[in-house]
């Protein structure tokens, strides 16, 4: 029976990217409401997450970029106009109220999940607010400002010689791939729509990594309209082969729900059960697992999907009838978990096309030398210590620390120096 840790900050769903913007953090509130109403919270450890500091973020991102994110607001944006284009902040990645607080919340939750996995305090850690896979070392991209995934993987690498990153968002996991493109310590496997100028335009099958990381980037470029059966035709054999040949000691799974049918920005045709089958398959390898959210722009279906996947990770069966909750009107007219979300879009992924991709990728995987090992070395201190040694302030009745302690068993606090990653072009030296 797996121990599952689940991270949720009650404020995270209250942020708003702006009118008409497709990214809606409110979907996290919808998901959490369903998780509670289905009673799933009783089966896992709930934590109010640590909030990441600028120092945490600068383990991957440049100091100048994080300094900009922490200081720009809708009120002072006029003073920063020359930097907006430098850091790619504007239309897709707008400056909104509380933007940096939002980044601190979702990044801190992923980071704390990694620390708990490293300390064997759970087998599976879930952060549906994380998974923002497009952010780069020096800039925002595709609704993503801080790459919580890269920061969590860097934490896992303190204890784990090999980390596997799997991405089932409809968009290519370009920020994560780029960060670890030159190393064999992280293998990145992304299943995504490719071609016809689909964002972000990367993720060709021939992007395979370079230098020490050659063959450690795996890209599965898919076409419009893929359904459950076609997806499984490539997903299971490729993941099975990766597990056998790479032998990861920890896994990070990005569960972007924009690969579902009927997504506002997507063009795939996966059902919630099909999407969840990927999660179930990855879980079946019984490795320490960090599960993150990502894209997903039809709120009601994102909430359905991630609630169902929370149940899958817990090994629980839940009713198809959505229980009464404060957001019930979102789930009409049928009020079902597994609602009909297929579109009439034609599946352009022929069996032959998928077989050709699968064959090429499996051939590349055979080029891997034996799973890389890491020489013995001292483990850097955890980014968050598991004990707080400070005396509480007797003049404060309900400090934030006290409130956090009521939610989590072992509160975690920042304690550790910034890793001195060498400056480079967005690649990490690990």
Residues with a known catalytic role: 134
Beta bridge partners of 167: 190, 254
Q: Is residue 142 a known part of a binding site?
A: yes
CB 296 within 8 A of CB 260: yes
**Tell me, what DSSP letter sits at residue 52?**
P
Q: Is residue 263 a known part of a binding site?
A: no
**Tell me, what DSSP letter sits at residue 270?**
B
Distance of alpha carbon 33 from alpha carbon 327, whole angstroms:
8
Q: Closest by alpha carbon to 110, among 95, 127, 97, 89?
A: 127
Q: Is residue 195 a known part of a binding site?
A: no
Count Cβ atoms within 10 A of the Cβ of residue 384 and give its class: 0-12 exposed, 13-18 middle, 19 or more buried.
buried
Distance of alpha carbon 5 from alpha carbon 286, whole angstroms:
15
Q: Is residue 92 a known part of a binding site?
A: yes
Greatest Cα pair distance in the chain: 70
Listing DSSP states for 91-141 in one string gives: SSS---TTHHHHHHHHHHHHHHHHHHHHTTS-SEEEETT---TT--SS--B
Residue 320 CA to its chain's centroid (Å): 26
Q: Closest by alpha carbon to 146, among 107, 113, 111, 115?
A: 107
Beta bridge partners of 163: 186, 250
SS3 call for 76 = coil
Q: Is residue 297 a known part of a binding site?
A: yes
Binding residues for substrate: 92, 142, 297
Binding residues for a divalent metal cation: 169, 171, 258
């Amino acid at each position: 029976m797996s121990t599952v840790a689940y991270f949720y900050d009650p404020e995270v769903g209250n942020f708003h990217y702006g009118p008409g913007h497709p990214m809606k953090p409110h979907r996290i509130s919808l998901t959490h409401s369903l998780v509670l109403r289905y009673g799933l919270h009783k089966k896992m450890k709930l934590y109010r997450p640590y909030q990441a500091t600028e120092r945490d973020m600068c383990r991957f991102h440049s100091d100048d970029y994080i300094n900009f994110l922490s200081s720009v607001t809708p009120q002072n944006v006029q003073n920063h106009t020359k930097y907006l284009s430098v850091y790619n902040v504007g239309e897709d990645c707008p400056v909104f109220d509380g933007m940096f607080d939002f980044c601190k919340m979702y990044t801190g939750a992923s980071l704390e999940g990694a620390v708990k996995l490293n300390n064997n305090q759970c087998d599976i850690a879930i952060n549906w607010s994380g998974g923002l896979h497009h952010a780069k070392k020096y800039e925002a991209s595709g609704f993503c400002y801080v790459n919580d995934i890269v920061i969590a993987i860097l934490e896992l690498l303190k204890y784990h010689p090999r980390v596997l990153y799997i991405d089932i968002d409809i968009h290519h996991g370009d920020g994560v791939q780029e960060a670890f493109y030159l190393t064999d310590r992280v293998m990145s496997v992304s299943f995504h729509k490719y071609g016809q100028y689909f964002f972000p335009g990367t993720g060709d099958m021939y992007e395979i990594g370079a230098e020490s990381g050659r063959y450690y980037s795996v890209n599965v470029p898919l076409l419009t309209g893929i359904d459950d059966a076609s997806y499984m035709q490539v997903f299971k054999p490729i993941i099975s082969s990766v597990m056998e040949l790479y032998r990861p000691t920890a896994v990070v799974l990005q569960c972007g729900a924009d690969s579902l049918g009927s997504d506002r920005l997507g063009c795939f045709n996966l059902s919630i059960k099909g999407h969840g089958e990927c999660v179930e398959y990855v879980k079946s390898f019984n490795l320490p697992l960090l599960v993150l959210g990502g894209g997903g722009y039809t709120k009601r279906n994102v909430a359905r999907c991630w609630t169902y996947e929370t149940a899958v990770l817990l090994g629980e069966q839940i009713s198809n009838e959505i229980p009464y909750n404060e957001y019930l009107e979102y789930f009409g007219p049928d009020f079902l978990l597994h609602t009909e979300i297929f579109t009439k879009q034609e599946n352009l992924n022929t069996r032959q096309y998928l077989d050709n991709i699968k064959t090429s990728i499996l051939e590349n995987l055979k080029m891997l030398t034996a799973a890389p090992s890491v020489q013995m070395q001292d483990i850097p201190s955890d980014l968050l210590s598991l004990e707080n040694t400070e005396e509480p302030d007797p003049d404060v009745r309900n400090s934030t620390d006290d409130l956090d302690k009521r939610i989590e068993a072992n509160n975690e606090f920042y304690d550790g120096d910034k890793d001195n990653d060498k400056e480079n072009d967005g690649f990490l030296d690990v």
